[in-house]
A and B are shown apart, each in its own frame.
Chain A
Amino acid sequence: MPDATGGSGFEIVAREDFSDVTYLLEIRHPQLAKAARPGQFVIVMPHEHGERIPLTIADFDRDRGTITLVIQAVGKTTREMQRDCQVGTRLFALVGPMGIPSHIDRAKKVLCVGGGLGVAPVYPQARAYKESGAYVIGVLGFRNRDLVFWEEKFRACCDELILCTDDGSAGIKGLVTEGIRQAVAKHPDIDECVAIGPPVMMKGCAEATRPHKIKTMVSLNPVMVDGTGMCGGCRVKIGEVVKFACVDGPDFDGHLVDFDDLMFRLQRYKPTEREANAKFDENCRMRNITQAAGGSG
């Protein structure tokens, strides 16, 4: 469990829950806030027995000296963090910024596409493009209206915003690829597209822009341990060459990425992940039972 007693570690200064699976953590690390650039990621280890997980930096505030992470509780580690990472607690380890920062081109018109969890990390890029003077079109995809977050933040840095939901409960009904289609139809002069989200979504985006020959950068999220180019777990196929996402990326040309390979490689630890999740459920259940027993006695 993250340490609440102070001392070593990295303090969580704010937290926001967007839904029952998505939560935001703001962590104090002035040096990291100063160094971070759009597109970079950090590795977090919540406690001493934890695993090291890569998370894309969703925002950084140099004045407050903080970085922001938006996390989806899917695996054991992210679910445990959802339970334990409260304001005032500390993460055992936080290292970064890692990876090559996104190259903010002198593009005139840019499409910034975020799907699900990818909505948060595409924000610093949208903001950076806006600051560089580009016309920014945001396309954000969520499953339904209840899961929507940061709409206002995006409206502040996008010239146009297309919200997509699977069920049409907010914005247009459909996937982000539908949003891309509409944006491209309206703006034939888009120079560049940035797409961040689950691999299947990024693959869809790359396919959507390919016929229009719009340069499309995607941010890859393979399995990694150290994040410094040492383990090679994060190797991805980019065209004919193998690259390490942690030090050669995480941004790559979406039209060259072998997404099927990426998706298969992301399955590597599925059986152990299932085991860990089951164990975590059991621990939570036992904890609730003990707490209930303690409360009544």
Chain B
Amino acid sequence: METANGPRKKKKTIRMIPQARTPAHEQDPSVRARNFEEVNCGYLVEDAQLEAERCLMCPDQPCVRGCPVNIAIPDFIERITDRDYRGAYDVITASNLLPSVCGRVCPQESQCEGVCTVGESLEPVAIGRLERWVGDLAIKEGWSNVPYIEPTGFRVGIVGSGPAGMACAADMAKAGCEVTVYEAFHEPGGVLKYGIPDFRLPNSIVDAEIKKLEQLGVRFECNTLVGRLFTIEQMIDEMGFHAVFIGTGAGYPSFMGIPGESLNGVLSANELLTRCNLMHARDFPAYDTPMQPGRRVVVIGAGNTAMDALRVCLRLGADSVSCLYRRSRAEAPARAEEIHHAEEEGILFHWLASPVEVLDDGNKGVRAVRCVRMALGEPDESGRRRPVPEPGSEFEIEADMVVYAIGTNANPIIGQTSRLKLNKRGYIATDANLATSIPGVYAGGDIVTGAATVIQAMGAGRHAARSMKAYLGLRGTDFVYEERPDGADDTLFGIDRAEHGYARVRLPR
């Protein structure tokens, strides 16, 4: 059988491939629980080779459909087996500019790896680890894919430099737009910087990925609070932006409204993580931002943010760190690997327990958390079994710090300062193309959907970019054009019919 890449190799069967998933090198739990170095040290080249062998190259390719940005996964894995690592990188970056980030933080078990054909009988191919390996190799080798970009004269403004904004910026820059990304913090990166700790995603990796965006011509403007310094309307009407993308994230952390929440020692995971990660409070007093020392910490929630908060507290030197979650381990929304790592490091998990009161130590500090045991009842609207408190099952956990990681609400700033239509929960209302109620203004990521994952936000950023290109009249520029090696180009009047973007139907004023 012939393909564009030459003869296909002999068809593999499940019996021919290495049966066991290649393990990633990890720091020992007892060592890593006291440092901020990366837990998962990734693959070596021989690991990547071995794991790549496990891909069946099945014709169905469920993994591609499972990926929110539809990376051509079997293609890049095949190039790893061919030792064409640069080629593997090119395949990934055709769909995803941030392989080092996504390889680390995507919930692969519920995306590509969750539907992998190998996974039907064995452990699925470790797609995330392979993606990360390729991305890290690219950073090490200094590879970057800066395509030929023909300037269109369109100016695009992006609000928020997190994953949604970065993905949208990349696509718009590749389409020839002049892209400016605004960030309220003093450094770009959004949740990748302030939220996800270094032991899971080092800030140096985020910086390397941001540098690639700058190579595409994207400009980052920090210290800019859009809405307050200037409004979305002003961006369109006065500042000369032809299109705007809003990716400001969900932000505003939730609390439960139980007694004792205003005690000193109660804080949101956002605050804890921002102080520790972005502001380097862990290096106080070399950095000025302080952090309250927690000896006995209770974190409420069991999502990825909760896992990050738990493990950060452990690394900051807490004696005991406990997780409280009202459902059971099976329902916990965190990535499987994060829960596994947290358990290995000695985090105590109280499944099926919910806080009812934070108790005062008599000096406005925290003494303990009073909790109640929960049981799982009938499934609710989300399909998960609803937790119900068991009467008379109250117990106390001693604590001097309580961290809330139970989700976030919509950040109100854009809503306060523009006439954009919001939905009844305060998130920005969009249509199926992610267009908002103001022409030329698009939105995506957590500020539209509520809290989700990094890759979903990136997917939304790319989706919005497609809509913005259509709005601006830019054609198919996300298609990466490659000449056919067999020379049999399908041309029409000398123009390759597969080559998109050669005609522009709308020009800027």
Contact = CB atoms under 8 A, between A and B. Distances in A.
Interface in A81-108: 92-98, 100
B186 A45 contact: yes
B186 A230 contact: no
A240 B344 CA distance: 42
Q: Is the interface of B mostly helix, strand, loop or mixed?
A: loop
Interface in B233-266: 251-253, 255, 257, 261-262, 264
A96 B223 CA distance: 8
B505 interface: no
A96 B229 contact: yes
A35 B223 contact: no
Contact of A51 (B228, B279, B404): B279
Given A228-B413, A231-B271, A267 B288 contact: no
6 contacts: A95-B185, A226-B184, A229-B412, A242-B262, A268-B264, A272-B290
B229 A242 contact: no
Interface in B157-215: 184-186, 194
A261 B284 contact: no
B27 interface: no
Interface of A: 31-32, 35, 40, 45, 49-52, 76-77, 92-98, 100, 225-233, 235, 237, 242, 244, 247-248, 261, 264-265, 267-269, 272-273, 275-276, 279
Contacts of B500: none
A231 B268 contact: yes
Given A228-B413, A247-B411, A95 B184 contact: yes
A52 B289 contact: yes
A50 B274 contact: no
B230 interface: yes
Nearest to A95: B223
Nearest to B186: A93
A273 B225 contact: no
Q: Is the interface of A mostly helix, strand, loop or mixed?
A: mixed
Contacts of B284: 272, 276
Contacts of A52: 186, 279, 289
B399 to A, nearest CB: 16
A94 B251 CA distance: 20
A231 B270 contact: yes
Given A93-B222, A268-B264, 14 more contacts: A40-B228, A50-B288, A96-B228, A96-B229, A225-B271, A225-B279, A226-B185, A226-B274, A231-B268, A232-B252, A232-B404, A247-B413, A272-B284, A275-B285
B130 to A, nearest CB: 34
The 7 closest A-B pairs by CB, nearest first: A272-B290, A231-B271, A93-B186, A51-B288, A232-B268, A51-B289, A232-B253
B223 A51 contact: no
Nearest to A235: B262
B364 interface: yes
B228 A97 contact: yes
B412 A49 contact: no
Contacts of A235: 255, 262
A35 B290 contact: no
B274 A230 contact: yes
B289 A228 contact: no
A53 to B, nearest CB: 9
A248 B409 CA distance: 14
A237 B261 CA distance: 11
A272 B185 contact: no
B288 A230 contact: no
Nearest to B273: A231
Contacts of B287: 49-51
The interface centre, meaning the residue of A95, A227, A230, A267 with most chain B CB atoms within 10 A of its CB, is A230
A50 B283 CA distance: 12
B286 interface: yes
A242 B261 contact: yes
A77 B288 contact: yes
A232 B279 contact: no
A76 B225 CA distance: 26
Nearest to B223: A95
B291 A272 contact: yes
B262 to A, nearest CB: 5
Nearest to A94: B223
A187 B31 CA distance: 70
B260 to A, nearest CB: 12
Contacts of B56: none
A73 B318 CA distance: 33
Given A93-B222, A95-B184, A97-B228, A76 B416 contact: no
B225 A261 contact: no
Contacts of B230: 31, 35
A231 B274 contact: yes
Contacts of A267: 264, 364
Contacts of A95: 184-186, 223-225, 229
Contacts of B288: 49-51, 76-77, 276
